[in-house]
């Protein structure tokens, strides 16, 4: 069973540029959530994708967008980068249990984005 993987590991961009981060979910998982973790803070929920549709969104502007593919991998796109976008971006995968009950999120190693 493979875990959650993310690419790239590190990225440096300049203000105003656009960036795409990628995530491969854990084998057997069908849901991907993205989080932003600023230095010294806990992760903050950006959005979640289930069956290729956005399934919830946190308090992030529309320049943060995403995609989920048929193989359940996912992308996070950020347009018009700002200095405050510098953070660790975490992807978490889980298996939706439609009948209810608990399901847990497993995190990847993250992509560290620096905006200059």
Give the residues lining the site for other proteins (CB under 8 A): 4, 6, 30-31, 33, 35, 40-45, 48, 50, 55-56, 58, 88, 90, 92, 94-97, 100-110, 112
Q: Which is nearer to other proteins, 17 or 41 (CB)?
A: 41
Name the minimum Å distance from CB 39 to other proteins. Answer: 11
For residues 6 and 23, is the Cβ–Cβ distance under 8 A?
A: yes
Question: Of 2 and 102, which CB lies nearer to other proteins in the complex structure?
Answer: 102
Q: Taking the complex as a whole, how short is the minimal distance between the CB of residue 16 and other proteins, in angstroms? A: 27
The smaller minimum CB distance to other proteins, of residues 20 and 44, is found at 44
In this complex, which beta carbon is closest to other proteins, that of residue 20 or of residue 45? 45
Instruction: Tell me the three-class secondary structure of the chain, residue by residue.
Output: CCCCEEECCEEEECCCCCEEEEEECCCCCCEEEEEEECCCCCCEEEEEEECCEEEEECCCCCCEEEEECCCCCEEEEECCCCHHHCEEEEEEEECCCCCCCCCCCEECCCEEEEEC
Least distance from C-beta 6 to other proteins, angstroms?
Answer: 8
């Amino acid at each position: 069973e493979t875990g959650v993987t993310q690419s790239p590991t590190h990225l440096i961009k300049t203000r105003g540029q656009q960036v795409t981060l990628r995530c491969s979910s854990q084998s057997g998982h069908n849901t991907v959530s993205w989080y932003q973790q600023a230095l010294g803070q806990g992760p903050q929920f950006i959005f979640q994708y289930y069956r290729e549709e956005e399934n919830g969104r946190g308090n992030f502007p529309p320049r943060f967008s995403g995609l989920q593919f048929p193989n359940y991998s996912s992308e996070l796109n950020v347009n018009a980068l700002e200095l405050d976008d510098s953070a660790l971006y975490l992807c978490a995968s889980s298996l939706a249990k439609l009948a209810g009950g608990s399901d847990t999120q497993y995190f990847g190693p993250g992509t560290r984005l620096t905006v200059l």
